[in-house]
Structure 1
Amino acid sequence: MPQLEVDGAALMYDDEGPRDADVLPLVFIHGWTANRHRWDHQMTHFAERRRVIRLDLRGHGDSTGAGVRTIAELAEDVVALLDHLEVQRAVLVGHSMGGMIAQTITLDHPERVERLVLVDSISRMTYSRGRGMLMGASTLVPFKLFVATNIRRAFAPGFPREEVRAYIKSSEDTPREVVMTLYGAMRAFDVLDRVGEIGVPTLLIHGYHDIQLPVRQMLRMAKAYPDAEVRIIDAGHELPVEKPAELTTALDRFVTPVVAA
């Protein structure tokens, strides 16, 4: 498995599919406590005809490293990988926290992004005072309970329990420092006042039953984007695994016309 050493971390990644100078790569960025395999369905589909890149973020999956404090630091890890792979411009696809990372890259390095896809992601976390207090208090419970509660809430009612348990176990394997630090980083993330600067075509795909990052927050964000298309799917927060085929179809329609300038 290829890896890249970046600032004390070993980032594991996959780089598959045919190289075609006229077809821009897709770069998939997973969310909090997840790993690159959230994108297995999309990877299999798209790698048949175009270059597809995905990675395990620092401290997640097969990657090592900790100490990251902000979403911007994770974004720079992704940019370092693009530099290493000599990818000058790409289509970014980010799920949840991965969407926050993708927005940050687009704002800080606009020349690197051709199109942007945000899956169950937002530009600012907003909640009532009571909800904010509850979220803060949730960090005081035992670590495994904290993780299990958050992951269980991410799936829409009716998703197979045995699969939910497998995702909980995978998330629990993420180091506690990484989990808790990035939980705080997501709560602090706020680029809503800047997304009007993002001029590239953007697809916002959201699960109707998402209670982690409610669809109404995404719709508020969509109004601020100059060139945004919205797609709502009957799922929870974990669209890449709850409705992988529907997500892939939506992505395919959005990215197929994209070629290098």
Structure 2
Amino acid sequence: MPPVSEPSVPESSAVQLYCLDSGEPGSGELPLIILHGLLGSADNWRSHMRAWQDQRRVVAVDLRNHGRSPHADGMSYLSMSDDVVALMDRLSIERAHVLGHSMGGKVAMSLARRNPGRVATLTVADIAPVAYQHGHDRIFAAMRELQQGHPKDRREADALLARHIESRPVRLFLATNLQRDGDELALRVDLDRIMDGYADIIAPPAGQAPFDGPSMVLRGEQSDYVEDAMLPTLRGVLPGARLITLKEAGHWLHADQPDAFRQAVERFLGAHPHGA
């Protein structure tokens, strides 16, 4: 008997997500859907898309209130995973490999648990299916500084971010959320709705049943997002997950160690081209 999907929210409440779609290369391989993390976007995954798109169709998604996708109330994993299902329907993708980083990893786990028949394999990058503590105060303060500072150029924007964020790589990442609006730079993320939904973002993923399909969890050696103490909970959600630790990588492991990250994903998808 095929897996039974959990009921979804009414289709009318799903957000019509923006995505970067490489198109079908004609290889016959299942598509790969990529879901970014908090304050990220599909644009962060362009280099990985270029590396993979000759082999398979690659779809990098802007989740609600991020990137070029519409702004809408609610950041629950139930709603965000239903957004992705609606996107798959719109793109005529019945089944796909799904890769999610951080918040996107929780969306991916929610999608796999609630709609297992749509997910051939699941790759989760540096997140566990647990509730996290509030840990983005400085990030949100920096983003609010950008919102209220009305920078004219990237240099002014970086100076505003530097009031709260010492790390230049983190500042560069946050600055990817800026877009030109007349003679100034403005946020393209809906900061208010993201902050209002933060309790849902740090909560566990949606769904009740474990995902029994092929799964892999990649974690950064220098990150504390997937600690050993979390592994029993992780195994309860992804009982067959392969756990790989990338050396000299932090939470943004796909940027810290891009080659090792790509190779791990390619080996995993190569071992499970059609899922279970």
TM bin (shorter chain): 0.7 to 0.9
User: Which residue does the alignment assign to 1:157?
Assistant: none
Per the TM alignment, residue 18 of structure 1 is displaced from its structure 2 partner at its CA by: 3.2
- C-alpha separation between the residues in 2 aligned to 1:29 and 1:121? 13
- SS of corresponding position for 1:256: helix
Q: Alpha carbons of 1:152 and 1:43: their partners in 2 closer, same or farther (altered >3 Å)?
A: farther
The answer to whether residue 213 in structure 2 is matched with residue 207 in structure 1 is: no
Per the TM alignment, residue 55 of structure 1 is displaced from its structure 2 partner at its CA by: 1.3
Q: Alpha carbons of 1:256 and 1:146: their partners in 2 closer, same or farther (altered >3 Å)?
A: farther
Q: Alpha carbons of 1:215 and 1:138: their partners in 2 closer, same or farther (altered >3 Å)?
A: same
TM-score between both structures, scaled by the size of structure 2: 0.75
User: Which residue does the alignment assign to 2:260?
Assistant: 246
Per the TM alignment, residue 119 of structure 1 is displaced from its structure 2 partner at its CA by: 0.2
- SS of corresponding position for 2:202: helix
Are the aligned partners of 1:207 and 1:232 in contact in 2 as well (CA < 8 Å)?
Answer: yes
The answer to whether residue 201 in structure 2 is matched with residue 186 in structure 1 is: yes
Per the TM alignment, residue 191 of structure 1 is displaced from its structure 2 partner at its CA by: 5.5
Are the aligned partners of 1:56 and 1:63 in contact in 2 as well (CA < 8 Å)?
Answer: yes
The superposition leaves residues 74-114 of structure 1 with CA deviations (integer Å, 9 ceiling, x where unpaired) of: 11111001001111111100000111111111111111011
- SS of corresponding position for 1:199: coil
Are the aligned partners of 1:124 and 1:189 in contact in 2 as well (CA < 8 Å)?
Answer: yes
Alignment of 1:70-81 (within 5 A): 70-81=76-87
- C-alpha separation between the residues in 2 aligned to 1:167 and 1:6? 33
Are the aligned partners of 1:68 and 1:178 in contact in 2 as well (CA < 8 Å)?
Answer: yes
Give me the CA root mean square deviation.
Answer: 3.2
Query: Relative to structure 2, which stretch is displaced further, 13-22 or 110-119?
Result: 13-22
- C-alpha separation between the residues in 2 aligned to 1:229 and 1:244? 19
- C-alpha separation between the residues in 2 aligned to 1:32 and 1:15? 21
Greater Rg over alpha carbons, structure: 2
Q: Alpha carbons of 1:83 and 1:181: their partners in 2 closer, same or farther (altered >3 Å)?
A: same
User: Which residue does the alignment assign to 1:93?
Assistant: 99
Matched positions, count? 239
- C-alpha separation between the residues in 1 aligned to 2:267 and 2:145? 37
- SS of corresponding position for 1:188: coil
- SS of corresponding position for 1:236: coil
Per the TM alignment, residue 190 of structure 1 is displaced from its structure 2 partner at its CA by: 4.8
- C-alpha separation between the residues in 2 aligned to 1:109 and 1:25? 16
- C-alpha separation between the residues in 2 aligned to 1:228 and 1:98? 17
Q: Alpha carbons of 1:43 and 1:101: their partners in 2 closer, same or farther (altered >3 Å)?
A: same
Alignment of 1:24-173 (within 5 A): 24-126=30-132, 132=133, 135=134, 138=137, 142=141, 144=143, 161-171=167-177, 173=187
Are the aligned partners of 1:121 and 1:218 in contact in 2 as well (CA < 8 Å)?
Answer: no
* Matched residue type, 1:108: R
- SS of corresponding position for 1:115: strand
The superposition leaves residues 199-238 of structure 1 with CA deviations (integer Å, 9 ceiling, x where unpaired) of: 1011000011113x24335533443232111110121111
Per the TM alignment, residue 165 of structure 1 is displaced from its structure 2 partner at its CA by: 1.6
The answer to whether residue 269 in structure 2 is matched with residue 255 in structure 1 is: yes
TM-score between both structures, scaled by the size of structure 1: 0.79
Q: Alpha carbons of 1:167 and 1:217: their partners in 2 closer, same or farther (altered >3 Å)?
A: farther
* Matched residue type, 1:144: M
- C-alpha separation between the residues in 2 aligned to 1:259 and 1:136? 37
Gaps of 5+ in 1: 127-131, 154-160
The answer to whether residue 237 in structure 2 is matched with residue 231 in structure 1 is: no
